Structure 1
Amino acid sequence: MTPARLSGLGLCLTLLLGCARNDLADPPVPLGDFALGLNIVVTDKTQKVPISRDASGEEWEAAMKKAVDDRFGRYQGAKLYNIGISVDGYALAPPGIPVVAAPKSILVITANVWDDAARTKLNAEGKQITVFESLSGETVIGTGITRTKQQQMDALSYNAVKRVEDWFLQNPEWFGLPMVVPAKVIDVDADTGR
């Protein structure tokens, strides 16, 4: 590889590293009266993709519970909401795979949320979410080479729980916030401009 190509590759990898951002140091986005109640993670039906590092149910439970606590423990609303997450499947990129065949780590979960006081499930069906590790210089090479199993699990758990938060924000009425109503489309007559 020529020095110019190596330099270009180095620049690209540096830019990619800036893409991965942890937002937990920022103030949480408004989520109405939300406060974290129970943090439940189940792994009894977890499936592993054949080409993957092994991870026990206990390891996934610990990683997911920490990610839920880190994100949702920041909210100080007046009502408790219980979050239940099922770890459905995963693949953790193994070490020693060549760059050209670098597998990606993936996590599939199903999330549910309950109003604790009303003992009512708020979503009719579980929300299935699939996430990969965030784009970075490490993921281009393959995280099996650049990250430990725990680092892969933590990154996937962080991404999955961030997506759970995004899902909550799409349903503000669950948390005492007004529903977001799309802006009314105004029909403008092309001839008159009115």
Structure 2
Amino acid sequence: MDDKETLHRYLRGQRADLLGKLDGLSDYDVRRPLTGTGTNLLGLVKHVATVQLGYLGEVFGRPSERSLPWEDAEPDADMWVTADQTRQQIIDLHHYSAAHADATVEALALDAPGLVPWWSPERRAVTLHQILVHLCVDTARHAGHADILREHLDGVAGGRPGDPNITSRSAGEWAAYRARIEAAAVQAGSAPPAT
């Protein structure tokens, strides 16, 4: 597997992890704000789809045919889903965005030049390699946000059921583990600062 295939595989994996966080949740739970800044699961999917269309579309002279009404809307309109936008529309947009991005990755070499008009002039000139790294990191960041939101909603943790990266514990064992962490934090918080 070459470098482009490796980066592309990681990007596809992060996309799938992000979408998987919606599985089994109600329309309310995927939309509701779970942080002080309004972060929500479906909004993260909408945002990643929008960003991907820009970076693996416009940046390489391959704009999509899809118009996104929130592009010229209020700030952060891509971070949440209005009542008239359906969950399926956002999922379909994500699939469309992924297919459009995948076509760009497949069509271009890693050293293919692009231009990011929303970046500062000294940083605008980029390559596909640079943008793939940028999108892998950005998508993984948002998938991580989604991991925490989903765990907060219903306790589901990890990339998928049976994720080998999550220790298998009963609810009681998780409570005891969390209590140990809390006790260590309290103890450290009451200790005099190190000099």
TM-score per shorter chain, which class?
A: under 0.3
TM-score between the two structures when normalised by the length of structure 2: 0.27
Q: Which is bigger in relative contact order (C-alpha 8 A, separation at least 6)?
A: 2
TM-score between the two structures when normalised by the length of structure 1: 0.27
Higher helix proportion, which one? Answer: 2
